[in-house]
Chains A and B, each alone.
Chain A
Amino acid sequence: MNKTQQFNQLLNLADNALIIGHRCSEWCGHGPVLEQDIAISNIALDYIGQARNFYQAAATLINEDPEMLTGFVLPATEDSLAYLRDQREFRNHLITELPNGDWAVTTLRIFLFSAYQYFLYTQLKDSGDLSVNAIAEKALKEVTYHVKWSADWVIRLGDGTEESNRRIRHAVDHLWAYTGELFLQESELQQQWLQKVQLVFEEAGLVIPEKTWMHQGGTSGNHTEHLGFILAEMQFLQRAYPGSQW
């Protein structure tokens, strides 16, 4: 992997974690019950922690070679990467930026995405890139809990009441077309992910949708209309008052 590819991968990992972390944080104070409010806020914190580590590694690459990785505020920092890039420069997958919707959409999204992260980090922790594998090794422990927590909810909602089942089926229909972007090439990763999803869906009484058209574009900067609104809220303070601190 050359330096640009390595950088793009770091940015994708960081942006994914930041944006889904931001979405989870929107539940803080609004969770259905106190315990779940705390759980999802803690998951948000884990994601944002991962994002910080990946941004720090990406910033180091920019600062080492600003003539190759151009177009960034210098010196690059975790904050400049999070707060001072526009939406076309973000490399997160579309599934992370979709609105939370109801609790079914929220928990299914975390399940589909954290299962992907679980197998991806398992691979990355043994990859040749030292900065990435340390972060992946650390984050994998946390992601394991996210997968477990979210899978429990998918099963509970699928195997629950008529209403909860209706909602989780709607969530599957809504989110499935955003999962293809996670696996642009057929890979072992996709097979592992699909097996895990199949296992949980079976227990939940859900069916994996037929092969369908898949949205894509996030990793090349073509986002849904939702990302701009997230960034407008998240970046406002640093854009209006550059360098301000709490």
Chain B
Amino acid sequence: MHQSPDNDIRNILQSVYDPEIPVLSVVDMGIIRKLSRSADEVVVHITPTYTGCPAMDVISTQIRMALLAAGFPSVKIVQELSPAWTTDWISEEGKQKLKAYGIAPPIGKAIDSVWLEDLKVPCPQCNSTNTVLVSQFGSTACKALFKCLDCKEPFDYFKCH
């Protein structure tokens, strides 16, 4: 990450994880839209991954707690909807972390005409592309459920969107 005056804040946010995917920080997820600060306040602009994502309230609280604990006296969280979050904003490092955690990272760019059935999603366990879609919705709305026909393991795929 490039050096910027907000690097201290970004470093703190690197330790705030998505509660549903505890290997990805809010920075890896790309949900930090903008940081601004004055002498006595830090404002963090975040964007929700999914409209109804129940993790967003938890994430907001955790960001606030982390910054307060680091000594910032006042923290304000602002939610921005537009432009809408896309899986394209997950960092390359984040995608590698997802895979190591057992979730297949999104393939390709945003949502396009490729439907889930036609995707060749490599198994995060054995890398085989001999996999099939089980359900378009997995353990959370942002994931689909696949299974690997070679190593026989079921796995979550982070949907492009």
Contacts and interface: CB of A to CB of B under 8 A. Distances in A.
B50 A149 contact: no
B19 interface: no
The majority secondary structure among interface residues of chain B is: loop
A38 B138 contact: yes
Interface string A44-57: 01111110110000
Given A49-B48, A138-B82, 12 more contacts: A35-B135, A39-B135, A39-B136, A42-B140, A43-B137, A45-B50, A45-B141, A130-B82, A137-B82, A141-B86, A142-B52, A142-B161
Interface residues of B, number: 25
The majority secondary structure among interface residues of chain A is: helix
B50 A148 contact: no
A38 B48 contact: no
Interface in A151-199: 152
B135 A49 contact: no
Nearest to A57: B81
A133 to B, nearest CB: 7
A145 interface: yes
17 contacts: A35-B134, A35-B137, A36-B135, A46-B50, A46-B141, A49-B50, A49-B53, A53-B81, A134-B81, A135-B51, A137-B84, A138-B85, A141-B84, A142-B52, A144-B111, A145-B136, A149-B137
B64 interface: no
Contacts of B159: 145
B1 to A, nearest CB: 26
